Structure 1
Amino acid sequence: MSVSVRIPTILRTYTGGDSEVSAEGANLAEVLDDLDGRFAGIKGRIVDENGKLRRFVNVYVGNDDVRFLDDLATPTPDGIQVSVIPAVAGGC
């Protein structure tokens, strides 16, 4: 399954500045593995050392937050867009 992955500005150093790249995988874990195979180190910025999504990174498959779906096992149908979005924190 081929999907497009939107890359946030902070991770574009891994993709040579590309804001969107394609990846292969039947689920999110496979997509991240494919990305890491082509852009070494990017997966480590999205997934922690325990294999879980990092706390301050949100990932969407289509319009749905994967934390409310099947997390890394969330299916990635052909042609869908995956968005990696760093969480923004702050306040007064």
Structure 2
Amino acid sequence: MVQVKIWGSLAAMTEDQTEVEVEAATLRELLDRLADKYPAIRPQLDRGVSVAIDGRIYNDSWFTRIAPDSEVVLLARLKGG
């Protein structure tokens, strides 16, 4: 199981939980399982989110591996500028 910290306004879509557990080995599995477990978050996931895994930000790297002890943070999509 992976512990996922839910950042900011996204917590409203996970029943106000700021930390959830999900069984996932890749970024794609993580997002799919979050959507299954918390359907209210699916529209935001479809629009795009950023995921920090062990301090590195990922946006669309679907096959990025996630270790069970990785630090994972889900946040609104970060855009450069």
Q: Return the TM-score normalized by structure 1.
A: 0.71
The number of equivalent residue pairs is 79
Alignment counterpart, residue 80 of structure 1, candidates 54, 59, 70? 70
* Structure number with higher helix proportion: 2
* Structure 1 residue 79, shift from structure 2 partner: 2.1
Secondary structure, in 3 states, of the residue corresponding to 1:75?
A: coil
What corresponds to 2:54 in structure 1?
62
Secondary structure, in 3 states, of the residue corresponding to 1:46?
A: helix
Q: Tell me, which stretches of 5 or more residues in structure 1 are unaligned?
A: 49-53
Secondary structure, in 3 states, of the residue corresponding to 1:36?
A: helix
Runs ≥4 in structure 1, deviation > 3 angstroms?
Answer: none
What corresponds to 1:51 in structure 2?
none
Task: Give the RMSD, CA atoms, in angstroms.
Answer: 2.2
Structure with greater Cα Rg: 1
Q: Structure 2: how far apart are the matches of 1:21 and 1:79?
A: 14
Q: Structure 2: how far apart are the matches of 1:78 and 1:62?
A: 11
* Structure 1 residue 88, shift from structure 2 partner: 7.9
Secondary structure, in 3 states, of the residue corresponding to 2:65?
A: coil
Q: Tell me, which stretches of 5 or more residues in structure 2 are unaligned?
A: none
Q: Taking every aligned residue pair, what percent have the same amino acid on both sides?
A: 25
Q: Structure 2: how far apart are the matches of 1:88 and 1:17?
A: 25
